[in-house]
Amino acid sequence: MHYAITDRHLPYYLDEFTFRFNRRKSRARGMLFYRLLQQAVETDPHPLTELIGGPPR
């Protein structure tokens, strides 16, 4: 089984759970993907190492 949760990833799992829990009764669920896409287009790109806190290249 692949159900191991490490301390390193626990905050991300909790954020995902909170996100889904808060939107479980949303009437505008179809807009969720649209808003995500909109934010992705309007946000500057960030390298993975910056997102996970690794050393810059």
Give pLDDT, residue 4.
77
Q: Quick one: the chain helix, strand, coil %, rounded to 5? A: 55, 0, 45
Handedness of CA 24, 30, 31, 33 (dihedral sign): positive
Long-range interactions of 33-38: CB distance < 8 A, separation 24+: none
Question: pTM for this structure?
Answer: 0.43
Strands (E) across 1-57 are located at none
- Residues 6, 21: Cα–Cα separation, whole Å: 22
pLDDT per residue, tens digit, the chain (57 aa), is 567 778 888 899 999 999 888 878 877 777 878 888 898 899 888 888 888 876 665
pLDDT at residue 44, as a whole number = 87
pLDDT of residue 50: 81
